[in-house]
Amino acid sequence: MTALLFVILAAFLLNIPFGYFRRNERKYSWRWFLYIHMPIPLIVAARLLTNTEFKYVPLIVLAAFAGQYLGGRLGVNG
């Protein structure tokens, strides 16, 4: 359970800066695509190193989306 929480938290926190960088890029541009996908190998590595079961991947993906969303909202007025 601790390993699962670590991977979920890592996915969330790792995606915050990438969401922040992505917010100023043109949608579907090369950098926009890159900022979304760069954290994935690190998250997969964390999942594999902690032997987190595959059935928890939807939770990890949800945490990554939440991190991207929060990062994209940082510094946005209104």
The CA distance from 38 to 44, in Å, is: 11
CA triple 7-9-13, angle to 5 deg? 120
Query: How confident is residue 1, by pLDDT bands cut at 50, 70 and 90?
Result: confident
Give 10-47 pLDDT, tens digit per residue.
Answer: 999 999 999 999 999 999 999 999 999 999 999 999 99
**Predicted TM-score of the model (pTM):** 0.90
